[in-house]
């Protein structure tokens, strides 16, 4: 049934999240590479992360997160008429994770779309869902951000990490892990989901609610600041044992450059979004940033002049879960009492591409 486009607005009706049960803290990581709890916390703010077991795929984590969001929305699975699935770690090279998710959760033959904007993927997904709802094409859109990063991690010591086996790694294995420590300490596995729904316009005199506006950007000239150098159509074959041996399937993160761009571009896009809506930073009640590095978020907070009461971070517990960080953080922020009716919230993220953007939402 076609919807009245002129009267449509997009609201977040439900949220949910899921992380695999195996929690790996920094002390456990220090058993398999040359690092320490203090070293990791000082540079990233991360204290622990969760890892999926072998054979657990990204779509598997998405199912309980989506079920939780649908239940929170007070809807049934049959009410969902579109799925946007943001991930950089699909179950297999193709198809994406969305069809596998659809099959596993038991969803009927509704469109299921994968998008690949990495750490900015969830903001991109929200804009897509809002556009489809405002166009009158769909009424209840499920937006998922989910990742299993374990697949690209070069660990050969899962028994130590997941099962607590007491064994000494060989010097070669320990040295190989240490050579990737700046990245291996960052990533965790998890999933988050929003149910976005169509609602009519507010009554006369009430402030506009729902998704108010979104600004997105891409700067391809910076793509190699954060990317995976091996694998894909630029190579013959797509993947090879030699790529893995050279570590080319592990992401490259130029930490200082990513930090510099993140602490500049994220405040700028928040200011751009507020400015074109004739709002100021003081109007915001909460900012939910992509959880890549606590030091980045603290620097962005400082540049924006935000008090701690208007920022929510949970990277300390989960690490960087890429497309899942924003929905996971907002879900926990709601549980902590944020997101009250009338609150003005800004979601903002930056990631590989470079892709970045911000979305303004009033509860």
CA angle 13, 18, 23 (to 5 degrees): 155
- The 3-state DSSP class for residue 260 equals helix
- All structural domains of the chain with their residue ranges: 5-199, 210-362
The DSSP call for residue 74 is T
Architecture per CATH, 210-362? 3-Layer(aba) Sandwich (3.40)
Report residue 234: phi and psi, to 5°.
Answer: -75, -5
Query: Two tokens at 21?
Result: 């049960």
Q: Which fold has domain 5-199?
A: Peroxisomal Thiolase; Chain A, domain 1 (3.40.47)
pTM as predicted: 0.95
Q: Digits of tens for pLDDT over the chain (363 positions)?
A: 344 455 679 999 999 999 999 999 999 999 999 999 999 999 999 999 999 999 999 999 999 999 999 999 999 999 999 999 999 999 998 999 999 999 999 999 999 999 999 999 999 999 999 999 999 999 999 999 999 999 888 888 999 999 989 999 999 999 999 999 988 999 999 999 999 999 876 556 677 899 999 999 999 999 999 899 988 899 999 999 999 889 888 888 888 999 999 999 999 999 999 999 999 999 999 999 999 999 999 999 999 999 999 999 999 999 999 999 999 999 999 999 999 999 999 999 999 999 999 999 999
Point out the residues that are catalytic: 119, 290, 320
DSSP assignment string, 110-179: --EEEE--GGGHHHHHHHHHHHHHHTTS-SEEEEEEEE-GGGG---S-HHHHHH----PPPHHHHHHHHH
Same topology between domain 5-199 and domain 210-362: yes
């Amino acid at each position: 049934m076609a919807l009245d486009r002129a009267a449509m607005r997009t609201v977040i009706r439900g949220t949910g999240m899921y992380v695999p049960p195996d929690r790996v803290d920094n002390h456990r990581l220090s058993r398999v590479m040359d690092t320490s709890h203090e070293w990791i916390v000082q540079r990233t703010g991360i204290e622990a992360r969760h890892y999926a077991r072998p054979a657990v795929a990204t779509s598997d984590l998405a199912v309980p997160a989506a079920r939780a969001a649908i239940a929170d929305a007070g809807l049934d699975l049959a009410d969902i008429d579109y799925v946007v699935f943001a991930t950089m770690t699909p179950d297999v090279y193709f198809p994406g994770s969305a069809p596998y998710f659809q099959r596993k959760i038991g969803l009927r033959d509704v469109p299921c779309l994968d998008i690949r904007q990495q750490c900015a993927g969830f903001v991109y997904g929200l804009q897509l869902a809002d556009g489809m709802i405002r166009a009158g094409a769909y009424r209840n859109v499920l937006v998922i951000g989910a990742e299993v990063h374990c697949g690209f991690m070069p660990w050969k010591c899962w028994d130590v990490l997941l099962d607590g086996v007491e064994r000494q790694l060989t010097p070669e294995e320990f040295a190989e892990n240490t050579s990737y420590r700046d990245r291996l300490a960052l990533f965790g596995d998890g999933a988050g989901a929003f149910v976005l729904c169509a609602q009519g316009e507010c009554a006369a005199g009430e402030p506009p609610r729902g998704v108010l506006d979104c600004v997105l950007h891409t700067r391809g000239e910076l793509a190699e600041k954060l990317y995976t150098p091996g694998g894909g159509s630029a190579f013959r074959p797509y993947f090879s044992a030699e790529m893995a041996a050279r570590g080319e399937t592990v992401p490259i993160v130029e930490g200082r450059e990513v930090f510099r761009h993140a602490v500049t571009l994220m405040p700028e896009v928040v200011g751009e979004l507020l400015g074109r809506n004739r709002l100021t930073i003081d109007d915001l009640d909460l900012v939910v940033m992509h959880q890549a590095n606590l030091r980045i978020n603290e620097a962005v907070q400082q540049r924006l002049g935000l008090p701690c009461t208007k920022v929510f971070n949970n990277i300390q517990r989960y690490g960087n879960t890429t497309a899942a960080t924003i929905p996971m953080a907002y879900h926990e922020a709601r549980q902590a009492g944020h997101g009250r009716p009338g609150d003005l919230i800004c979601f903002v993220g930056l990631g590989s591409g470079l892709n970045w953007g911000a979305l303004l939402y009033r509860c």
